[in-house]
Amino acid sequence: MFTHSSLLSANNRHNRRVRDQRDDGRPYIKKPPNAFMLFLKELRPKVVSELNISRSTMVNRVVAEMWKSLPVEVKARYSEKARLEQRLHQQQHPGWSTNDNYVCGVCSNMVTSPA
């Protein structure tokens, strides 16, 4: 019988294998961060040190609440940074799509049939 942790571990190994294994030899390219991810990256160290929280789920929850309470003007600054990151990413990786990161060609082209 499988335990929850063994299934998660197997899933992580599979994801890592899929991410690292490329048939055509191209590297795995991360997608550009969105506004919230930039905010999270900036605030995570502060939240960890100030609140002495080590569990990432709790840190993410605190930062998410902070994000929700931000004024629109502040969120707009992060959105602009995210747009700049996206433009830079497009220049560095022209023609790249998130589908490029998937090994299984059949998986990315699957269409679900209506029930």
pLDDT tens digit sequence for 2-47: 455 554 555 565 565 555 555 667 778 889 999 999 999 999 999 9
- Domain range for 77 is 4-93
Whether 15 is covered by a domain: the verdict is yes
Q: What local confidence, expressed as pLDDT, does residue 98 receive?
A: 81
d(C-alpha 89, C-alpha 32), whole Å: 6
Whether 14 is covered by a domain: the verdict is yes
- The arithmetic mean of pLDDT across residues 107-111, rounded, is 54
Q: What local confidence, expressed as pLDDT, does residue 2 receive?
A: 47
Distances (CA, A) of 55 to 4, 34, 60: 19, 22, 9
Whether 109 is covered by a domain: the verdict is no
Whether 108 is covered by a domain: the verdict is no
Determine which helix (DSSP H) or strand (DSSP E) holds 4, and give its type and residue range: helix 4-20
| Domain of residue 33, CATH code | 1.10.30.10
Whether 98 is covered by a domain: the verdict is no
Reported as a pLDDT band with limits 50, 70 and 90, residue 95 is confident
* Inter-residue contact 82 to 35 (CB < 8 Å): yes
Whether 12 is covered by a domain: the verdict is yes
Whether 106 is covered by a domain: the verdict is no
Does position 109 have pLDDT exceeding 70, yes or no? no
Whether 57 is covered by a domain: the verdict is yes
pTM of the complete model: 0.67
Structural domain count of the chain:
1
Does position 110 have pLDDT exceeding 60, yes or no? no
